[in-house]
């Protein structure tokens, strides 16, 4: 059996680790923190997973929070002018594609423990490039799934696929509890438990999602995406989660006053339930060449990191895991050489990640004409709104109409009789 090493115990490294273990591969995960350290650190993210990703986790028996984490059942969006006026509201159900957001501290701590329980070899070590030389020699294939870790510098930026030179948004996120945030119908206007989105033209966006964390159980995550230097970009000097909440209330009062009452008496879930910062979305070349000439392959965010605006990073990582796993198995005893790595990534890029990246980048811009045509129709047509939201599960399904006005009109026309009926 081929020996495989994975660097990084996050969404991508752990998922692939479990899949390989199930298939009988000897697999070693190197990660820089113990399960306890993972549990007791700041939240790394507020990732919401759509149904397809949850299904992959279910198949692996990793859905320990299935009955605890509240489902996000639909998306309720307001598009607003910079004075906070809503000029368009779209509300769509995720239907069978509902998802869940789980604290990654909760999840990865438990998964790391589970991985060892199932016989996986776990080494707690912050891997350097020189460590990679040794690891690559000892294994038939080494994949680096280090998230946003500095070791990613080993993989060159792909200029032809990376459109951002600097961070498009400054981010701030926290997890909170509060009486008006949780339960089945926290937003009276939405006939489901919503992912709540506000897009403020030229200013930024903010999102709040049903969430689960070990520290408080059912809760809600908040993510603010500020256009750098713009009027919402006020979070980066905050020194605590409480300060973030105070600033968040100011932002919501200014731009989405109808949402403010949900934040009455909210509390930070725990002292570490917040983050702030920014990063440059980047597509990297998938092959890292070590000083010795040995090759290692990028996985998850190390390969493709997008802004969180479309909620796709962990979902994209899971999709990549699926591609890589199938191709590892298909390769049998043949070498995992440069051609193989390149072909696996190109296939994944062309069939999946390209769409995820383009969709994410589209959301960072004012909506183009085709998207506007669909959104306008979706304001009054439930079938269109539902189908629009359900495409989040697999951004490839936004094509071709997202870029083509005729196709967008057809998308609307095909669904119009259904709504009337
Ligand atoms: C605010 C925010 C909100 C988000 N919301 C969403 C969302 O709604 N939906 C969604 O799908 N995604 C979302 N994401 C993105 C998502 O969290 C990531 O895309 C996903 O976790 C990537 O998985 P990964 O395995 O590639 O990296 P990670 O999950 O980051 O895991 C990387 C692991 O590698 C370890 N590591 C790093 N360097 C080394 C090293 N040298 N040696 C050993 N170990 C190392 C790290 O400690 C970490 O454990 C969001 C991100 C942010 C910041």
Distance of CA 348 to the CA centre of its chain: 17
Q: Name all residues whose Cβ lies below 6 A of ligand 1.
A: 7-13, 30-33, 44-49, 126-127, 145-147, 149, 151, 171, 173, 223, 300-301, 308, 311-315, 317
Name the domain count of the chain. 3
Q: Is residue 37 part of a domain?
A: yes
β-strands 4-7, 141-144 pairing: parallel
Q: Which of 259, 277, 295 is the last residue of a domain?
A: 277
Mutational test site, ligand 1, from 29, 51, 104, 147, max ligand atoms within 8 Å of CB: 147
Q: Which atom of ligand 1 is nearest to the CA of 151?
A: 41
Task: Tell me: do 231 and 273 sit in the same domain.
Answer: yes
Contact indicator for 331, 323 with CB cutoff of 8 Å: no
Gap from CA of 421 to ligand 1 centroid (Å):
44
Using the CB atoms, write b or e for 92-125: b if 16+ within 10 Å: bbbeebbbbbbbbbbbbbbbbbbbeeeebebeee
409 CB burial (10 A radius; 0-12, 13-18, 19+): middle
Gap from CA of 317 to ligand 1 centroid (Å):
9
Task: Tell me: do 12 and 96 sit in the same domain.
Answer: no
What is the per-residue pLDDT for 417? 74
Q: Which of 322, 344, 363 is the last residue of a domain?
A: 363
Q: Is residue 51 part of a domain?
A: no
- Say how far apart CA 2 and CA 27 lie, in whole Å: 9
Gap from CA of 13 to ligand 1 centroid (Å):
10
- What's the rounded mean pLDDT across residues 153-159? 98
Q: Is residue 124 part of a domain?
A: yes
pLDDT at 90 > cutoff 60 = yes
Residue nearest to atom 23 of ligand 1 (CA): 11
Mutational test site, ligand 1, from 36, 44, 47, max ligand atoms within 8 Å of CB: 47
pLDDT at 320 > cutoff 90 = yes
Angle at 205 between CA 49 and CA 103, to 5 degrees: 30
Task: Tell me: do 231 and 94 sit in the same domain.
Answer: yes
pLDDT band with cut points at 50, 70 and 90 for residue 1: confident
Least confident range of 85-99, 101-115, 141-155, 406-420: 406-420
Q: For the chain, give the mean pLDDT.
A: 97
What is the per-residue pLDDT for 13? 98
Residue nearest to atom 15 of ligand 1 (CA): 313
Task: Tell me: do 187 and 330 sit in the same domain.
Answer: no
Task: Tell me: do 358 and 298 sit in the same domain.
Answer: yes
Q: Which atom of ligand 1 is nearest to the CA of 147?
A: 27
pLDDT band with cut points at 50, 70 and 90 for residue 418: low
User: Before 19, cis peptide (omega within 30)?
Assistant: no
Q: Is residue 209 part of a domain?
A: yes
Task: Tell me: do 147 and 182 sit in the same domain.
Answer: no
How many separate helices (H) and strands (E) can be counted in the chain?
A: 12, 19
pLDDT > 90: percent of the chain: 98
Angle at 195 between CA 102 and CA 214, to 5 degrees: 20
Dihedral sign computed on CA atoms, order 71, 75, 80, 84: negative
Residue nearest to atom 2 of ligand 1 (CA): 45
Q: Is residue 81 part of a domain?
A: yes
DSSP 132-191: HHHHHHHSSEEEE--TT-GGGGGSPB-TTT---SS-S-EEEEEEEE-TTT-SS-SSTTSS
What is the per-residue pLDDT for 155? 98
Instruction: Tell which wins on pLDDT, 290 or 418.
Output: 290
pLDDT, tens only, 170-212: 999 999 999 999 999 999 999 999 999 999 999 999 999 999 9
- What's the rounded mean pLDDT across residues 337-357? 98
Gap from CA of 305 to ligand 1 centroid (Å):
9
CATH number of domain containing 206: 3.30.9.40
Task: Tell me: do 178 and 266 sit in the same domain.
Answer: yes
pLDDT at 419 > cutoff 60 = no
Task: Tell me: do 225 and 192 sit in the same domain.
Answer: yes
pLDDT, tens only, 241-297: 999 999 999 999 999 999 999 999 999 999 999 999 999 999 999 999 999 999 999
Task: Tell me: do 160 and 182 sit in the same domain.
Answer: no
Q: Is residue 157 part of a domain?
A: yes
Alpha-carbon separation of residue 382 from 76, 376, 378, 393 (angstroms): 12, 11, 6, 18
Q: Which atom of ligand 1 is nearest to the CA of 30?
A: 43
CATH number of domain containing 337: 3.50.50.60
- Give the pair of three-digit tokens for residue 90: 């779209």
Q: Domain range spanning residue 288?
A: 4-44+103-164+281-363
Task: Tell me: do 142 and 20 sit in the same domain.
Answer: yes
Q: Which atom of ligand 1 is nearest to the CA of 126?
A: 42
- Say how far apart CA 245 and CA 265 lie, in whole Å: 10
Task: Tell me: do 259 and 353 sit in the same domain.
Answer: no
Contact indicator for 181, 262 with CB cutoff of 8 Å: yes
pLDDT at 421 > cutoff 60 = no
Q: Write down the residue that tokens 């597509």 correspond to.
A: 283
Task: Tell me: do 204 and 247 sit in the same domain.
Answer: yes
Q: Is residue 55 part of a domain?
A: no
Residue nearest to atom 44 of ligand 1 (CA): 31
Q: Which of 227, 253, 277 is the last residue of a domain?
A: 277
Mutational test site, ligand 1, from 314, 357, 389, max ligand atoms within 8 Å of CB: 314
Residue nearest to atom 11 of ligand 1 (CA): 314
Contact indicator for 176, 216 with CB cutoff of 8 Å: no
- Give the pair of three-digit tokens for residue 113: 């423990």
Q: Is residue 53 part of a domain?
A: no
Of 168, 309, 281, 172, give the one whose Cα is nearest residue 234. Answer: 172
Which CB contacts under 8 angstroms, 24+ apart, belong to 36-42?
Answer: 36/109, 38/9, 38/105, 38/108, 38/109, 38/112, 39/105, 39/106, 39/109, 39/214, 40/105, 40/272, 41/105, 41/272, 42/272, 42/273, 42/274, 42/275
């Amino acid at each position: 059996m081929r020996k495989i090493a994975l660097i990084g115990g996050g969404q991508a490294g752990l998922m692939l680790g479990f899949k390989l273990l199930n298939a009988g591969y000897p697999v070693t995960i190197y990660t820089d923190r113990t399960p306890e350290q993972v549990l007791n650190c700041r939240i790394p993210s507020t990732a919401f997973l759509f149904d397809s990703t949850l299904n992959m986790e279910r198949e692996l028996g990793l859905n320990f929070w299935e009955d605890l984490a509240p489902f996000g059942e639909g998306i309720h969006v307001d598009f607003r002018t910079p004075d906070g006026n809503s000029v368009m509201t779209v509300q769509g159900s995720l239907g069978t594609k509902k998802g869940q957001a789980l604290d990654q501290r909760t999840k990865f701590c438990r998964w790391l423990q589970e991985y060892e329980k199932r016989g996986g070899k776990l080494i707690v070590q912050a891997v350097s490039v020189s460590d990679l030389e040794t690891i690559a020699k000892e294994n038939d294939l080494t994949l680096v799934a280090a998230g946003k870790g500095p070791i990613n510098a080993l993989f060159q930026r792909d200029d032809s696929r990376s459109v951002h030179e600097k961070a498009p948004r400054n981010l701030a996120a926290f997890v909170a509890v509060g009486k008006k945030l949780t339960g089945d119908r926290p937003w009276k206007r939405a006939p489901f438990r919503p992912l709540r989105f506000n897009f403020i033209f030229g200013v930024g966006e903010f999102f709040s999602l049903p969430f689960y964390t070990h520290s408080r159980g059912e809760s809600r995550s908040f993510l603010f995406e500020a256009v750098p230097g713009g009027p919402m970009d006020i979070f980066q000097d905050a020194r605590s989660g409480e300060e973030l909440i105070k600033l968040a209330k100011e932002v919501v009062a200014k731009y989405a006053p109808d949402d403010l009452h949900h934040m009455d008496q909210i509390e930070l879930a725990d002292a570490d339930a917040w983050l702030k910062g920014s990063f440059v979305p980047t597509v990297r070349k998938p092959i890292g060449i070590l000083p010795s000439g040995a090759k290692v392959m990028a996985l998850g965010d190390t390969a493709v990191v997008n802004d969180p605006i479309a909620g796709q990073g962990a979902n994209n990582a899971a999709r990549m895991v699926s591609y890589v796993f199938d191709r590892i198995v298909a390769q049998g005893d043949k070498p995992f050489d440069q051609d193989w790595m390149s072909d696996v990534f190109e296939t994944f890029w062309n069939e999946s990640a390209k769409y995820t990246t383009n969709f994410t980048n589209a959301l960072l811009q004012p909506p183009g004409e085709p998207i506007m045509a669909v959104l306008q129709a979706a304001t009054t047509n439930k079938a269109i709104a539902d189908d629009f939201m359900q495409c989040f599960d697999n951004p490839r399904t936004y094509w071709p109409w997202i870029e083509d006005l005729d196709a967008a009109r057809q998308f609307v026309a095909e669904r119009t009789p259904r709504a009337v009926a």
